[in-house]
Structure 1
Amino acid sequence: MFSIGLTGGIGSGKTTVADMFAVRGVPVIDTDLIAHQITVPGGVAMPLIESTFGPAYVAADGSLDRAKMRTRVFSDNTAKAQLESITHPLIRAESERQRNAAQGAYHIVVVPLLIEAGDRASKVQRILVVDCPVDTQIERVIRRNGFTRDQVLAIIERQATREARVAAADDVVVNDSAATLETLQREVDALHVRYVAMASGNSKPRT
């Protein structure tokens, strides 16, 4: 099936745009959502996370203590690699399962670090980037998550630059402070029509 990789920096509005495609009947595979699902109480990643990092990283309800793990991996690259070695294969497997089960002309795969992943981009036909200025990202994440400015900047610094994402994009949705839900809806409508037409042509994956 024709596959669109949707990406963007933290706070760019990826979920808002993805939800607009979903309303139009497009299957959306959200790797962030999958990452959350595998680390809830009883999640498939939790036993290995606990055995690797210890019970201190498991919350009282059996889920991942996200705040404590976030602090750990941002200060310890070895711990970050260990966590990714546990979660990434599980996320990829579930993502592939959902992609294989998807029906329709095309589907959307939401991957926050799609550009950083490099060769994973070859599994999609097009890359759609949701773009906004860094200051807007910072403001949104502080308001949404209650992070400090330094915490948001630390996350942004670990992601591809805005310029790198836009350079890698086939399509860009600008979701800056001037954007409204109406303007985003119009952009998504136009992209939806384009993607359906492209899918009918059986385009090959990116190279």
Structure 2
Amino acid sequence: MSSLTIGLTGGIGSGKTVASDWFATQGITVVDADIVARKVVEVGQPALVEIAHVFGQQVILADGSLHRAYLRELIFNSTHAKKQLEQITHPIIRAEIIQQLAQAHSPYCILVSPLLFETDQHQLVQRTLLIDTSEELQQQRASARDQQSIEKISQIISAQMPRQEKQQRANDIVLNTGVIEQLYAQLQPLHQHYLTLVSM
């Protein structure tokens, strides 16, 4: 287990995955909360059974898997439904993240999570890194990537923690507004800094 875990976060389209992929190429273990969240609701998992019990069989597709689009729409339009889902999934996701972090063998490890601050996952890390960008760039990138309208992406952004609040809470901030090489150039000294922190 690494003695230092960095929580990496950022809004939709900020470049979190590009940044975490770069850390992975440096030999750093990356635990992705989104991948964990998908894993815990796979067919046969207890969380999926509980979700079907609470929300009804319409959240299950013909092949037995989760009807993500239906559930996403449901929780987007109902705070109560969102809370119910979180009560089922968050404890299981947290337990799985803790288990994966415990198995990390790199000098330090990264927990990448879009909801690092919102879900209290920041309690699992010693330091936080925000990949930050303008709302306009977020809209352009996420819209192009997810094939969704700018309006839909704007709705998602407004539902997330405000950018300014994330900036205030993060220990380190990288501004991702240029080309990918500029992002890497900012990550390199942070990587060295984290290695130094571990060796202290």
Fold conserved between structures, TM > 0.5: yes
Residues of 2 paired with 1:7 and 1:126: CA distance?
11
Matched AA of 1:198: L
Query: 1:158 — aligned with what?
Result: 159
Query: 1:200 — aligned with what?
Result: 199
Equivalent residue of 2:42, what SS? Answer: coil
- C-alpha deviation, 1:78, in angstroms: 0.8
Residues of 2 paired with 1:7 and 1:26: CA distance?
16
Matched AA of 2:69: A
Query: 1:66 — aligned with what?
Result: 68
- C-alpha deviation, 1:41, in angstroms: 2.9
Unaligned runs of at least 5 residues, structure 2:
none
Query: 1:133 — aligned with what?
Result: 134
Indicate the larger mover: 10-19 or 58-67.
Answer: 58-67
Equivalent residue of 2:174, what SS? Answer: strand
Query: 2:174 — aligned with what?
Result: 173
The 5-angstrom pairing of residues 101-140 of structure 1 reads 101-118=103-120, 120-140=121-141
Q: How many residues align?
A: 198
1:189 aligns with 2:191: no
Name the CA shift for 1:142/1:52 in 2 (closer, same or farther; >3 Å): same
- C-alpha deviation, 1:35, in angstroms: 0.6
Equivalent residue of 1:87, what SS? Answer: helix
Q: List per-residue Cα deviations over 1:45-104 (Å, max 9, x = no partner).
A: 211111111111112222211111111001111110111111111110100000111112
Residues of 2 paired with 1:160 and 1:101: CA distance?
30
Unaligned runs of at least 5 residues, structure 1:
202-207
Q: Where do 4+ consecutive residues of structure 1 move more than 4 Å?
A: none
CA-based RMSD:
1.4
Name the CA shift for 1:43/1:139 in 2 (closer, same or farther; >3 Å): farther
Q: What TM-score, normalized by structure 1, do the two folds share?
A: 0.90
- C-alpha deviation, 1:181, in angstroms: 2.1
1:84 equivalent among 83, 86, 97: 86
Q: List per-residue Cα deviations over 1:16-42 (Å, max 9, x = no partner).
A: 100110111111111011011122333
Residues of 2 paired with 1:48 and 1:147: CA distance?
30
Residues of 1 paired with 2:187 and 2:46: CA distance?
34
Percent of aligned positions that are identical: 39
1:40 aligns with 2:39: no
